[in-house]
Structure 1
Amino acid sequence: MDKAMAALAEMEALGFRPNSASYAALIEGLGSVGRTLEADAIFQEMICFGLKPKVWLFNVLLRGFLRKGLLGLAVRVLVVMDELGVWRNRETFEILLDYYVNAGRLEDTWSIINEMKRKGFRLNSFVYSKVIGLYRDNGMWKKAIGIVEEIREMGLSLDRQIYNSIIDTFAKYGELVEALEVFEKMQQEGIRPDIMTWNSLIRWHCKAGDISKALELFTEMQEQGFYPDPKIFMTIISVLGEQGKWDVIKRNFENMKYKGHKKSEGLQPSATMFCILANAYAQQGFCEQTVKVLQLMEPEGIEPNLIMLNVLINAFGIAGRHMEALSIYQHIKESGISPDLVTYSTLMKAFIRARKFDKVPEIYKEMESAGCTPDRKARQILQTALMALQQRHYHNGFT
């Protein structure tokens, strides 16, 4: 885009102007990389030279402005559309609808829907799923479900998008039995659940404390060929970790690992997934299990990254094994990896737990020498160590 803008400047310096297609390409390109204000400037120049953009170009600008919350510029785009006699198409309305729903603006949402009806646009599953979501997020879940009746009365079949909205609405407000009933009906009608369907059911069952059903759905999802979203995996691990069910965590992770080659949708096993599992063990100070997760990464061809090694330092630190934590730190440096702020802070905390207060200032100095700027937490750790050393010296002097 920089080269394109430079070419435009050179072109205009020579007294030439781009044609309509070139202007459109520039605006679309700038919009795609978030340079909306530059896109707007090119758009204004295009209008100034008497060129009339197509409706799709207006939509590009409209989407870009609303994505950044620039409502004033978005409204101006709509005004220019009206002035130039460019009719709004379905995409224009859906862009506006999506914005108003996400902003929780119920009145404006219905205003757009009514305008769509007046213009002769039939309401589709996208529109209805957005309305259901808006009611759901505003606590009006019964009204959200009432929309389903309106859909049926209009003879519009329920598709996956609408089903997902209904399931999420029921589940969010604790109506898990109804959510599962809709889930079953969805499948009976030949509509295959997608990753969003599974994620919604698992997440809300976890939040309701029904971890057994969440795990059942988690397993069924994998059997259906979906790999779990990391956030969902982390939610399950967190709940199981709180309950101390580490054997269940390990068993589910092993099942995921062995089924990974069958997955066709969702995210594949990655360093992030291993880090989530390792961190669950590390938070409990289970060093051996954390190391085993590290070992599991090797057969998968995944190299342990800095995040994983930081987790390992934390595991040893929580367990009070500061020498092992220090050895991991040495390994990081010997491997040519640059320790980050988390590395230094985690290691200093390990020394604090082991009451090796004199080691903390040494690591702090190494952090500064490496060009890593200490944050407030790191400074607090140092202060804690210095105060402990001061008290120790005072006590020794007194005795």
Structure 2
Amino acid sequence: MKMELRCITLFATPSIFPRYPISFLISSFYPHFPKRTNKPSIYTCSCFSIFQIGTTKSLENLPNSYNKSFMEYPIGKELSLEMYSEKISHYCKKGYVDKAMSCISEIQALGLCPNLFCYLCLIEGLGNVGRTLEVEMVFQEMLYLGLRPNIVVFNVMLRGFLRKGLYKLANRALRVMEDLGMCKNQETLEIFLDYYVSGRRLSDTWRIIGDMKRKGYQLNSFAYSRVIELYRDNGMWKKAMEIVGEISEMGVPMDRRIYNSIIDTFGKYGELDEALKVLVKMRREEIVPDIMTWNSLIKWHCKAGDHMKALDLFTEMQDQGLYPDPKIFIILISQLGNLGKWDLLRENFEKMKYRGHKKSGAVYAVLVDIYGQYGKFQGAEDCISALRAEGVQMSSNIYSVMANAYAQQGLCEETVKVLQVMEAEGIEPNLIMLNILINAFGIAGRHLEALSIYDHIIENGINPDIVTYTTLMKALIRAKKFTKVPELYQHMELAGCTPDRKAREMLQIALMHLQPI
């Protein structure tokens, strides 16, 4: 019992929770925006009240598709715990977390106790939609009910925390694991490896790889692909290609993950012909390209100015039966829009509708509108309403794509509105969203607001990544605040982020302006 209480205390420490939600920060810039008044209590430990917090929406207010059950049961048949578990699993996989929470409440109302599988599904579902505060409360609920979490539960929590950049909270979870006598397994180490590579933390990445080797875990395709990406992002693409040779020597099978990393590496350094050769090799070995493969090829052809080849690849991807990723829309629309190729964008939209990609087409049309071609919608709220009317389920991915589109136009108010609507839906802004907000303020020349977002990130225990620092340095250079750039660069190095080529270039620009004439 003492051990359980200690675990609860670790996760209920006020210092590890965000002191202010993003809506508080936004309202300090824009007082006319309403604040959230029904925040959940982080100390709630009642079995029932945890699932009745303010972010849970009323089922009557949800779209029709939200209320349709994925599994029909005979009328009058009492649902068993097993049936409820299956329903919860289905809802969480589809992103209908509030519906899953309602099932938990129904289980408890029947006098039953949700099992470990129910909580695991719920924790994973909440983590996937960025509702990490509720993840912590559900974890406390488990402990309160006497359920002992296993390594699978901890790995799901760690992945959710690190996805949002909550590095300190993830480390606290590791300490709870140790207190419960659990050891990190290979998946745990791979979760941290993924986080360190994404954050360009070179020394931490090699430390994790060393830990994996010491524990006797053989590096698999996931680990090797992330090492390739690490070298790629630090400007050592030839070294990345040497890793490919090492993979062959070690007898590790070349799978889709590794091929995607190689394609992305070639693309980033302008070797587009080589990237296409890798695509051909993949198919020859009967490895089917996935959405990541196509996104990478389309992105780098766009950035190289070969927009016709990018559109060909976009069409080929759809011919393979894959739904377009909204993230790639921004690249296509911005590149073609800058060239004035609005007729091609419209033609592309008609092709998507013809293929039956109605929801993807709706997102595409909204993004084209944001970039100023159609002028159909008045603002962020109208765009979101239009997407919902088309049956698009709003997710953190869709919100981030919309926010990024507004940010690239320097439309700070609309970017903020997207974030506020997202938070009202119970989706907590993650580091990616906060980086987008920094970019919006930077493009608009409002460096003080950009710095405030950075302070908000630090104060709330979120670890900035290389994108945070480079975006903020770019904002400072735009505002001609050159003296702050070297200071920020030093903070980045002290935080363990390895500077990339872009960061080094911006430092040189700032130092050049600081030199006496």
- TM-score above 0.5, yes or no: yes
The question of whether the paired residues in 2 share the 8 Å contact of 1:66 and 1:99 is answered with yes
Residue in 2 that maps onto 1:226? 322
Question: Match for 2:188 among 81, 84, 92?
Answer: 92
Q: Quick one: distance in 2 between partners of 1:43 and 1:126?
A: 31
Structure having greater relative contact order (Cα 8 Å, sep ≥ 6): 2
Q: Quick one: distance in 2 between partners of 1:186 and 1:134?
A: 22
The question of whether the paired residues in 2 share the 8 Å contact of 1:206 and 1:236 is answered with yes
Cα displacement (A) at 1:111: 1.4
Report matched runs for 1:185-204 at 5 Å.
Answer: 185-204=281-300
The question of whether the paired residues in 2 share the 8 Å contact of 1:28 and 1:60 is answered with no
Residue in 1 that maps onto 2:165? 69
Matching residue's letter, 1:188:
R
Larger Rg: 1
Question: Match for 2:382 among 285, 301, 306?
Answer: 306
Q: Residue deviations 1:188-225, cap 9 Å, x none?
A: 11111111111111111111111121122122222222
Cα displacement (A) at 1:99: 1.7
Cα displacement (A) at 1:144: 1.7
Q: Quick one: distance in 1 between partners of 2:277 and 2:258?
A: 15
The question of whether the paired residues in 2 share the 8 Å contact of 1:81 and 1:87 is answered with yes
Q: Quick one: distance in 2 between partners of 1:176 and 1:217?
A: 13
Q: Quick one: distance in 2 between partners of 1:189 and 1:22?
A: 43
Residue in 2 that maps onto 1:106? 202
2:346 maps to 1:276: no
Residue in 2 that maps onto 1:367? none
Q: Secondary structure at the match of 2:46?
A: helix
Matching residue's letter, 1:206:
C
Cα displacement (A) at 1:123: 1.3
The question of whether the paired residues in 2 share the 8 Å contact of 1:27 and 1:40 is answered with no
Cα displacement (A) at 1:21: 8.4
**The structure with more helix, counted as a fraction of residues:** 1
Q: Secondary structure at the match of 2:183?
A: coil
The question of whether the paired residues in 2 share the 8 Å contact of 1:34 and 1:64 is answered with yes
2:251 maps to 1:251: no
The question of whether the paired residues in 1 share the 8 Å contact of 2:45 and 2:141 is answered with no
Residue in 2 that maps onto 1:315? none
Q: Residue deviations 1:7-46, cap 9 Å, x none?
A: 3799xxxxxxxxx986896687567341255467668879
Q: Residue deviations 1:83-121, cap 9 Å, x none?
A: 554222122111211221122111111111121122121
CA 1:213–1:27: 2 relative to 1, 3 Å: closer
2:203 maps to 1:163: no
Q: Residue deviations 1:333-357, cap 9 Å, x none?
A: xxxxxxxx97xxxxxxxxxxxxxxx
Matching residue's letter, 1:7:
C
Matching residue's letter, 2:184:
R
The question of whether the paired residues in 2 share the 8 Å contact of 1:27 and 1:42 is answered with no
TM-score normalised per structure 2: 0.46
Q: Secondary structure at the match of 1:217?
A: helix
Question: Match for 1:177 among 244, 253, 273?
Answer: 273
Matching residue's letter, 1:191:
I
TM-score normalised per structure 1: 0.58
Residue in 2 that maps onto 1:206? 302
Structure 2: give runs of 5+ residues left out of the alignment: 1-39, 51-112, 387-412, 415-517
Structure 1: give runs of 5+ residues left out of the alignment: 11-19, 284-289, 295-304, 311-340, 343-399
CA 1:238–1:67: 2 relative to 1, 3 Å: closer
The question of whether the paired residues in 1 share the 8 Å contact of 2:264 and 2:297 is answered with yes
Report matched runs for 1:1-399 at 5 Å.
Answer: 5-7=45-47, 29=122, 32=126, 33-35=131-133, 37-38=136-137, 53-82=149-178, 84-258=180-354, 260-261=355-356, 268-278=359-369, 282-283=372-373, 290=374, 306-307=382-383
Q: Quick one: distance in 1 between partners of 2:290 and 2:123?
A: 33
Q: Quick one: distance in 2 between partners of 1:244 and 1:227?
A: 26
CA 1:148–1:38: 2 relative to 1, 3 Å: same
Q: Quick one: distance in 2 between partners of 1:140 and 1:107?
A: 15
Q: Quick one: distance in 2 between partners of 1:110 and 1:251?
A: 47
| Aligned-residue RMSD, C-alpha | 3.8
Provide the identity percentage. 53
Cα displacement (A) at 1:55: 2.2
CA 1:254–1:155: 2 relative to 1, 3 Å: same
Residue in 1 that maps onto 2:465? none
